[in-house]
Amino acid sequence: MVENLLEIDDNSFEAQVLQADKPVLVDFWAPWCGPCKGIGMMVDKLAESYGDRILFAKCNADDNQQTTAKYGIKSIPTLMFFKSGNVFDKITGMTNQVKIEEVLKKILAGGQGAAPFIVQ
């Protein structure tokens, strides 16, 4: 695994993501998911480039259903971006590295996140 990439679970999510002192990208994935492997390679590469300014984490959606339910993860891969303990943006499904990097740059530039959503 890439040095700047954390494995998180239901028990560590709050401490490692919501209480982090810098923005966090969480990759919700599962071992059986083909597109997750493609996104995972992009996340690994971005962690090498941005790992000093943004935390990168992977959360196995199958093993951590409490967290996936709380954040409304209905399909994977899903990337969620957090800043100051709040959801900043979300990308669901296969995407390209440029789109992921756009969100990372927006977070670092102090930009506005996507419209907030309510989890019930």
Residues with active-site annotation: 33, 36
Measured distance CA(93)–CA(99) in Å, rounded: 12
- In terms of Cα–Cα distance, which of 55, 3, 56 is closest to 29? 56
Q: Measuring CA to CA, how many Å separate 58 from each of 11, 15, 42, 86, 110?
A: 14, 14, 12, 17, 24
Measured distance CA(17)–CA(7) in Å, rounded: 11
